[in-house]
């Protein structure tokens, strides 16, 4: 029988898919989209600081183009290779065509980014070549990482407590206890996982970790928050202790794996509404130079639409941009193992080519129905900078929403505003006025009173006006609608009465947030009274204003204990463990919720009312909870419900924010018993009573 001669393995031919740079045996395949480009070149570099490419490869528009996809295979390349694109085409801004044949362009699908030591944002906006000062993409091989069996946790929202944090700001301060080389990094966050576990949170919501332009800030300042993306696939290199581009990917994945091992989910704050390229006169980093007319929204004169407030708006209605967004989500879930996403200014994604909102925006339904994203947490910031506000009516069935109404109404009530008791009742009960009309689960509302955008909790009870002079914008930036109250003195004070009132107000806000129906979200450092000194828009403060000072744990250790106790109480509620199969309306019926005022069954909804009470039972029917909220200046006597015979423990005072620690929050079994037909609730305080069988809790 004749022997067969082994044939050499032939490398796959160049082809338009997958997009980006894919390493194979002996080479790398590249593919990029551009409809309007007339010529494309692939640029190869040895280092991020090269002032010229080591090799320039022109693509043949007849041989290396299929439809609108330009592609080629280059033998001899391997992971770690730095590359970029350069595009030639018509320059006609009135048609949205802004090609610049000198500019180094990032690959929209690049999985890693190399940042030059002398990176300059301005070089992307000025005439001429910018090789030495520009971001470069890096060829990766993401299949080499060992996940050791890790996979997303798929925790139900009803079992979720979110902690919004900034990767750098969380551990950058010298007080963090993290080794210097790891401070402000993904690795540094790993060092603090025991703290997060002890606090009781179940998910971290990381402020933007896509590679962003840190120079997109006023002169002399840094874009700290990261809402200025240049890549939708690459993790931000500046958050890595290791500086090699491929090591950044491993460090990010090490962080995700470590958080998962601790039972903590990873939610990314993602920015698919704009990029760092800004408006007219902004720098060219990638999308603008590859096909501005496709990637961005423009008016009839070719000017950028600006529904993001940052100069440009991605054209999310366009099929190519929709694919970019969905492919990016696939990558972060399948390759990087993240558990969910919070979409910045998500309402923008519902706008069509003219900027008008669509009832069934294609990209939102693409995400909603994608089988590879099934089980992934989807959270919408359901508004944009153009005035579109969709809280309570965001598209789809799976999307949860940052509930800005919860923030505003709870702040107003605790501050002592008139006319907000009816709204407060809705916020405590999962906002049925917003969500009960559709079959939504009780966790639909993401409940928060503070976030990165606005005052911290400490500043909310310490300042009545924003103090943003450090941002160098004349104090014009940041919202003026803070609904805050300084408790009598603007800013820091040694007055013990004011300090005590602020501590009480902080506890009131936290108790309402954590124990209301919905999914609670806490802001990094609120549990230790972190301050930004009245700055309510610290996006450019990569300094002690924007960092967490861990010494604050010693300032008010009772508050830290209080937050831990609130989270434990939340998970004692049987509804939190089991109600993810119930709609909001069904849960309201099963929990037998009753609203009261100071008199039973008589909620006072008058404009001058500042009090509310409610009673609810666990789904199993063996635990009763009674909440009384008093935002008035004087104590109020609240009637107590008559207990059923099975509630042999009697009413026990579990929470009383007017009492000093540790009596402000007690374990149910050890809590003081309350007798009588009524209970006095002190001014500006929240009380929770619990009753059950003798062994309840």
Query: Of the listed 381, 526, 542, 579, which one is catalytic?
Result: 381
The CATH number of domain 20-144 is 2.60.40.10? yes
pLDDT higher than 60, residue 695: no
User: What fold, for 585-692?
Assistant: Immunoglobulin-like (2.60.40)
Peptide bond into 190 cis (omega under 30): no
- Phi, psi (rounded to 5 degrees) for 323: -65, -40
Digit-coded pLDDT (tens) for 171-180: 999 999 999 9
Digit-coded pLDDT (tens) for 10-57: 566 789 999 999 999 999 999 999 999 999 999 999 999 999 999 999
Active site (annotated) includes residue 344: yes
Query: Of the listed 64, 191, 344, 426, which one is catalytic?
Result: 344
What gap in Å lies between CA 492 and CA 479, rounded to an integer?
21
What gap in Å lies between CA 697 and CA 684, rounded to an integer?
27
- Phi, psi (rounded to 5 degrees) for 60: -85, 120
pLDDT at 133: 98
- Rounded to a whole number of angstroms, the CA Rg of the chain reads 27
As a whole number, mean pLDDT of residues 420-427 equals: 97
Evaluate whether 20-144 and 585-692 have a shared fold: yes
Residue 67: count of CB within 10 angstroms of its CB: 8
> What are the domain boundaries of the chain?
20-144, 585-692
DSSP string over 627-696: EEEE-SSS-EEEE-PPPPTT-TT--EEEEETTSPTTTTB--TTTSEE--SSEEEE-TTEEEEEEEESTT-
Helix H or strand E encompassing 377:
strand 377-380
For residue 244, the SS3 value is: coil
Of 43-57, 595-609, 636-650, 682-696, the one with minimum mean pLDDT is 682-696
Q: Which residues contact 318 (CB under 8 A, 6 or more apart)?
A: 294, 295, 353
pLDDT higher than 50, residue 103: yes
pLDDT higher than 60, residue 673: yes
Q: How confident is the model at residue 585 (pLDDT cuts 50, 70, 90)?
A: confident
Q: Which residues contact 589 (CB under 8 A, 6 or more apart)?
A: none
Percent of the chain residues topping a pLDDT of 70:
96
Task: Share the mean pLDDT of the chain.
Answer: 94
Q: How confident is the model at residue 696 (pLDDT cuts 50, 70, 90)?
A: very low
Active site (annotated) includes residue 381: yes
CA 74 and chain centroid, separation: 39
Digit-coded pLDDT (tens) for 443-492: 999 999 999 999 999 999 999 999 999 999 999 999 999 999 999 999 99
Residue 581: count of CB within 10 angstroms of its CB: 10
- Given a contact cutoff of 8 angstroms between Cβ atoms, the answer to whether 209 and 226 are in contact is yes
pTM for this model (two decimals) = 0.96
For residue 447, the SS3 value is: strand
DSSP string over 143-164: GG---TT-------GGG--EEE
CA atoms within 13 A on the CB side of 84: 33
- Given a contact cutoff of 8 angstroms between Cβ atoms, the answer to whether 30 and 71 are in contact is yes
What gap in Å lies between CA 206 and CA 79, rounded to an integer?
28
The two tokens of residue 413 are: 């009530």
- Given a contact cutoff of 8 angstroms between Cβ atoms, the answer to whether 265 and 339 are in contact is yes
């Amino acid at each position: 029988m004749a022997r067969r001669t082994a044939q050499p393995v032939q490398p796959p031919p160049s082809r338009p898919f997958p997009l980006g740079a894919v390493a194979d045996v002996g080479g790398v395949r590249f593919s990029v989209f551009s409809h309007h480009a007339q010529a494309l070149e692939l640029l190869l570099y040895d280092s991020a600081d090269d002032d010229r490419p080591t090799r320039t490869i022109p693509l043949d528009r007849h041989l290396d183009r299929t439809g609108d996809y330009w592609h080629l295979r280059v033998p001899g390349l391997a992971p770690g290779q730095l590359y970029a694109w350069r595009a030639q085409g018509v320059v006609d801004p009135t048609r949205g065509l802004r090609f610049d044949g000198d500019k180094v362009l990032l690959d929209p699908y690049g999985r890693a980014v190399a940042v030059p030591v002398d990176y300059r944002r301005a070089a992307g906006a000025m005439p001429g070549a910018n090789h030495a000062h520009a971001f470069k993409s890096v060829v990766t091989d993401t299949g080499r990482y060992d996940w050791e069996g890790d996979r997303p946790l798929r925790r139900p929202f009803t079992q979720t407590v979110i902690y919004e944090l900034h990767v750098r700001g969380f551990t950058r301060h010298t007080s963090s206890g993290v080794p210097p080389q790891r401070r402000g990094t993904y690795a540094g966050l790993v060092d603090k996982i025991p703290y997060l576990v002890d606090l009781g949170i179940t998910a971290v919501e990381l402020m933007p970790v896509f590679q962003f332009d840190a120079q997109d800030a006023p002169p002399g300042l840094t874009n700290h928050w990261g809402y200025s993306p240049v890549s939708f696939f690459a993790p931000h290199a500046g958050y890595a202790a290791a500086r090699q581009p491929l090591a950044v990917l491993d460090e990010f994945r090490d962080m995700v794996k470590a958080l998962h091992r601790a039972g903590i989910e990873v939610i990314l704050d993602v920015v698919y509404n704009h990029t760092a390229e800004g408006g007219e006169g902004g720098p060219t980093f990638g999308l603008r130079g590859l096909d501005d007319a496709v990637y961005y929204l423009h008016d009839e004169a070719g000017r950028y639409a600006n529904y993001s407030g940052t100069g440009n708006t991605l054209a999310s209605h366009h099929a190519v941009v929709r694919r970019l967004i969905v492919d990016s989500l696939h990558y972060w879930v399948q390759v990087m193992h993240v558990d969910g996403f919070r979409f910045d200014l998500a309402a923008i994604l519902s706008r069509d080519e003219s900027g008008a909102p669509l009832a069934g925006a294609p990209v939102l339904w693409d995400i909603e129905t994608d089988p590879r994203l099934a089980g992934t947490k989807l959270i919408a910031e359901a508004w944009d900078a153009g005035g579109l506000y969709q809280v309570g009516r965001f598209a789809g069935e799976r999307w949860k929403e940052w509930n800005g109404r919860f923030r505003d109404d709870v702040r107003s009530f605790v501050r002592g505003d008139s006319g907000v008791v009816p709204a407060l009742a809705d916020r405590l009960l999962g906002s049925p006025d917003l969500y009960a009309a559709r079959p939504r689960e009780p966790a639909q509302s993401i409940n928060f009173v503070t976030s990165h955008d606005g005052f911290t909790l400490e500043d909310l009870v310490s300042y009545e006006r924003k103090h943003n002079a450090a941002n160098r914008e004349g104090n014009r930036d940041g919202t003026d609608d803070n609904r805050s109250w300084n408790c009598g003195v603007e800013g820091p004070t040694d007055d013990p009465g004011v300090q005590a009132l602020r501590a009480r107000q902080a506890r009131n806000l936290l108790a309402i947030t954590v124990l209301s129906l919905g999914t609670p979200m806490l802001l990094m450092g609120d549990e230790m009274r972190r301050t930004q000194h009245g700055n309510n828009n610290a996006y450019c403060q990569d300094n002690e204003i924007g960092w967490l000072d861990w010494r604050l744990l010693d300032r008010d250790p009772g508050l830290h204990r209080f937050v831990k106790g609130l989270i434990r109480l939340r998970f004692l509620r049987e509804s939190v463990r089991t109600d993810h199969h119930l709609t909001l309306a069904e849960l309201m019926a099963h929990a037998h919720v009753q609203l009261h005022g100071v008199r039973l069954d008589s909620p006072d909804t008058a404009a001058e009312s500042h009090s509310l009470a409610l009673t609810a039972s666990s789904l199993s029917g063996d635990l009763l909870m009674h909440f009384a909220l008093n935002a008035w200046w004087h104590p109020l006597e609240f009637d107590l419900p008559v207990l059923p015979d099975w509630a042999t423990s009697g009413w026990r005072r579990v929470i009383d924010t007017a009492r000093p620690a540790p009596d402000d929050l007690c374990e149910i079994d050890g809590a003081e018993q309350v007798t009588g037909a009524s209970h006095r609730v002190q001014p500006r305080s929240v009380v929770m009573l619990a009753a059950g069988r003798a062994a309840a809790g």
